[in-house]
A and B are shown apart, each in its own frame.
Chain A
Amino acid sequence: MARPDLMKGGAVTLPSLNGPVTPVTTPEGVVLSFRTASFASRLAALLIDFLIIVLVPVLLVILYILLPFEHVKFDNVNMDHPFVQALLILFVLIGFFLRSGYFTLFELGPRAATPGKRIMKIRVISHDGGHLTPSAVITRNALREVELYLPLTLALQASVNGGWLSLVALIWALTLALLPLFNSSRARLGDFLAGTRVVHVPRERLSFDLAEQAPVGSPGLIFSPEQISVYGEKELVVLEEVLREKRPPTLRAVADRIKTRIGWVEPKIASEVPSDEAFLRAYYAALRAQLEGRMLMGRRRKDKFDD
């Protein structure tokens, strides 16, 4: 959760509803609270990238076999043929790029993410809020050598000759690789070194303002201040979600709970009884008006237990 830093004039951020948050103070002095990318989504992104890294050479070999190079078929390969040499060089270079340059080049691009990260909607940012520098990207990816390739190599060695030394080394390397699980910002070693973090950057759609849709002053939908001040901001957010989802059973259940809680008296005339949705909209608008009014006075109410 972001700490309000009054000296920097940053905004106080809302407590996040889901997962840990990486607060970043931008050069404009605003605190952007990014949702920290979870270990699972980072692992998924890594696996997708690995899949690409592994599949590209395989596809190249298949392509090579399919293409009609009659003098370089596998039965009579002439290793000294200049064409084979050129292909070999190309292949080593591609392999080298895939292993050492893939992550760096993609993260230096305009989206600061590899294809895997892009699919998982996560991005690399600089932890201090400034520019993500090329040297930071290179550092964080060079450290993959220790975090990723070393454990893999050691695991292979340990499984082949089963020496206790490589087993110890494997455990040590695994501890490094699993570092994101043990710190709150889910940063791996390379992130600490480069001063970067990986965060979730989703695309959100701007929907309509629910307060605009509150039913106009129907006589049955007036709430007393006591009835409104039962709830706080957290409940308001939940109510908003319910109203945007619009599932009748949920609407009904939530409306019933609120009605009992605030001691709501149904109007006598049947035509004036509001639908569940109309009731909730009206209550939402009233609650928000009250909470925002208090907020302007600098008194926020976190949830119904606050105050």
Chain B
Amino acid sequence: MSDQPPLQLKSQKFREAREKDWKALAKQIDRAENGGLRKFTTEELLELPVLYRSTVSSLSMAQSISLDHNLITFLQALCARAYVYMYGPHARPGVMVRDFFLRDLPRSVRALWGELALSFLCLALGIVGGILMCMADPSWYDPLVGGMSQGRDLNASVDDLRKTIGGTDNGEPLAAFSVFLMSHNTQVTLSAFALGVIGGLPTAFLMIVFGMSVGAMVWLFASKGLGPDFVAWLSIHGTTELTAVVIGAAAGFHLARRIMFPGHLTRKAALSDAGRLAGTAMLGAMLMLVIAGFIEGVARQTVTEMWARFAFGGGMAALWLFYFLAVGRAHKVRPQKVTHGQT
């Protein structure tokens, strides 16, 4: 074995010339994956995409001139890792958050208007149905409301009921229950969305059942002469929460529609198209549920007057309406801005 290679293949020269770059990129990706991107100097940061591109082009060249299998697997794995890192979901948090709230979210919710109407209809139908069913036969109340009643059952006296929607007097034990309710409603929203994939009917069913449990509670309070009080109490967080549930179900309906009627796209393409739109709306719905949880935790106990409650709930509803209708409309003159995260 000597220092002088016996034959100089093109692939050997190629490798000699570029090996240094590949090793540099491998080292940088190792560091970046371990969360060390912050410690990169400006030069290193600027160098990273250059190294990445040159390595990717090395790969495409190596595939057509080299038969060194180890080299090609190495380059493929390195490019794959670099690619996964470079095109990973991590965008700059500030830009990502701003784009999401000021553009993506309201736009995708607006794009769902037909489905929103349908899911609102299902919910309204459920509420009315729940009230009518309980009026016809009070024994419907228990199966409809189930475990969420927390003392608001048929035998509760007017005073008991008034207490559950009252002010600060017994607020503390309710706190844990609110958190439970929040995660329950989030679950309902998630399921309503996800069930859209299996045809949309389950989503409609879920929405109607959810509406019925709300309707049944309204009936219970109304039958004890506390109807307006209950609605006022519910409206504080309910306007936010029910809007979120309606949006979640609308996203589910959208999935169902695009799967069943993909139009000129293939079903697979339509599905992933719908998935992005619905996913964005869904994320908005989840955030709204968290906000609703906060309102529930704070405002429910502090806002006690009926008119104040209605004003608060109505204000929130107006706010959401304005946000989803007006924010992020495309201006005619402004060119479409394309954001790439960190490349």
- Residues of A in contact with B (beta carbons under 8 Å apart): 10-14, 24, 26-28, 30-34, 79-80, 82, 85, 88-89, 92-93, 95-96, 100, 107-112, 123, 125-127, 129-140, 142-146, 150, 172, 176, 189, 192-195, 199, 201-207, 209-217, 233, 236-237, 240-241, 244, 285, 288-289, 291-292, 295-296
Quick one: given A123-B84, A138-B283, A214-B7, are A92 and B89 in contact (CB under 8 Å)? no
**Is the CB–CB distance between A131 and B89 below 8 Å?**
yes
State A91–B104 Cα separation when bound (angstroms): 33
- Closest A residue to B16 using CB positions: A209
B residues less than 8 Å from A194 (CB atoms): 272, 275-276, 279
Contact B89 A108 (CB under 8 A): yes
Nearest CB on B from A32, distance (A): 6
B328 to chain A, nearest CB (A): 15
| Complexed CA–CA distance, A146 and B198 (Å) | 9
B338 to chain A: closest CB distance in Å? 11
Which of B61-69, B220-228, B304-312 is found at the contact surface with chain A?
B61-69
Beyond A211-B7, A237-B69, A289-B7, is A133–B64 a contact (Cβ under 8 Å)?
A: no
Q: How far is the CA of A139 from the CA of B88 in the complex (A)?
A: 16
User: For residue B80, which residues in chain A have a CB less than 8 angstroms away from its CB?
Assistant: 32, 34, 199, 201
Cα distance A86–B116 in the bound complex, in angstroms:
37
Please indicate the chain B residues that have their CB under 8 angstroms from the CB of A112 in the complex. Answer: 84, 88-89
B280 A135 Cβ-Cβ under 8 A: yes
B138-149 vs A, Cβ < 8 Å mask (1 yes, 0 no): 000000000000
The answer to whether A89 touches B70, judged by C-beta atoms less than 8 angstroms apart, is no
Top 6 closest pairs, chain A to chain B, by CB: A139-B279, A193-B275, A195-B272, A11-B60, A145-B194, A204-B77
How many chain B residues touch A (Cβ–Cβ < 8 Å)?
85
- Is there an interface contact between A292 and B283, defined as CB atoms closer than 8 Å? no
Using Cβ atoms and an 8 Å threshold, which residues of chain B touch A212? 5, 12
What is the minimal beta-carbon distance from A4 to any residue of chain B, in angstroms? Answer: 10
**Is B76 interfacial (CB-CB < 8 Å)?**
yes
Q: Chain B residues near A244 (CB, 8 Å)?
A: 70
B170 → chain A closest CB, angstroms: 9
Starting from the known contacts A172-B198, A292-B10, 19 additional A-B residue pairs (CB-CB under 8 Å) come to A11-B61, A32-B59, A100-B187, A110-B32, A110-B90, A130-B87, A131-B88, A142-B193, A193-B197, A193-B255, A202-B77, A209-B68, A209-B71, A210-B68, A216-B4, A217-B6, A244-B70, A292-B66, A295-B64
Looking at chain B's contact residues, the main secondary structure is helix
Say yes or no: B32 contacts A201, CB within 8 Å. Answer: no
A85 & B194 in contact (Cβ 8 Å cutoff) = no
- Which of B126-134, B152-160, B176-184, B211-219 forms part of the interface with chain A? B176-184
Give bound CA distance, A137 to B35, whole Å: 20
Contacts of B255 in A (CB 8 A): 193
Please determine whether B6 and A110 come into contact, CB atoms closer than 8 angstroms: no
Q: Tell me whether B70 and A288 are in contact (CB under 8 A).
A: no
Contact flag A110-B35 (CB < 8 Å), given A131-B341, A132-B89, A216-B6:
yes
* A11 and B63 contacting across the interface, CB-CB below 8 Å: yes
> How many angstroms from the CA of A169 to the CA of B185 in the assembled complex?
23
Query: Contact at A11–B59, with CB atoms within 8 Å?
Result: yes
Please, could you name 17 A-B residue pairs with CB atoms under 8 Å apart, sorted by A?
A: A28-B56, A32-B56, A32-B76, A93-B179, A110-B85, A111-B84, A123-B84, A136-B276, A138-B279, A143-B197, A146-B195, A195-B275, A204-B78, A216-B4, A216-B6, A295-B64, A295-B67
